[in-house]
Amino acid sequence: MYDFAPPSTADKAQCYAQLGEAAAALVDGEPDAVANMANIAALIWQFVPDLNWAGFYRAIGTELVLGPFIGKPACIRIPFGRGVCGAAAVTAATQRVEDVHAFPGHIACDAASRSELVVPVLRDGHVIAVIDLDSPLPARFDARDAAGIEALAARIAAHI
């Protein structure tokens, strides 16, 4: 049994630091990418409050394909350039969207989603996946959330 508990503090930097430590411990020595993505999605869900979806899309060919996640069943294939995830994949840059209804081409997988954070996972300079977080709260994600998930992405890139 793994018993990682998010810190009782509301300090985001501390929460993300501990999330990173827990993720590194979970993937250490485990070569299976699916198992690692599944555990990391579960950790994000446990450590980051106010989410309705958290998980991975993997870059395969010219599209993103759904990976392990927590949340409602989601769109399976997203062409590069489409939606928030597709934008993160083609630009290799974090997309932080305060109001998904105002984002051109946003793909609604859960009607409850109001804001979204998508962070590319890079290996050898290439986008291999994106980490997608959705929230039912508008403007849920700030720069500290983006920095925290970017640090997580860098930490796990070699393990997924």
Query: Nearest approach, Cβ of 155 to ligand SME (angstroms)?
Result: 22
To the nearest 10°, the Cα dihedral for 8, 13, 15, 18? -120
Q: Does 149 bind ligand SME (CB under 6 A)?
A: no
# chain residues binding ligand SME, by CB under 6 A:
15
Q: Does 146 bind ligand SME (CB under 6 A)?
A: no
Binder to ligand SME among 20, 67, 68, 83 (CB under 6 A)? Answer: 83
Q: Does 74 bind ligand SME (CB under 6 A)?
A: yes
Are 18 and 6 in contact by the 8 Å Cβ rule? The answer is yes
Question: Closest by alpha carbon to 66, among 94, 38, 45?
Answer: 38
Binder to ligand SME among 17, 70, 75, 157 (CB under 6 A)? Answer: 75
Residue nearest ligand SME by beta-carbon distance: 83
Are 117 and 107 in contact by the 8 Å Cβ rule? The answer is no
Binder to ligand SME among 85, 119, 128, 153 (CB under 6 A)? Answer: 85
Instruction: Write the CA distances from 36 to 22, 24, 39, 55, 88, integer angstroms.
Output: 12, 10, 5, 11, 21
Instruction: Write the CA distances from 77 to 14, 110, 114, integer angstroms.
Output: 34, 15, 21
Question: Closest by alpha carbon to 159, among 43, 5, 23?
Answer: 23
Show the site string, 88-127: x = touches ligand SME by CB under 6 A, - = not: ------------------xx-x---x--x-----------
Binder to ligand SME among 22, 27, 48, 78 (CB under 6 A)? Answer: 78
Footprint on this chain of ligand SME (rule: CB under 6 A): 53, 74-75, 78, 83-86, 106-107, 109, 113, 116, 132, 134
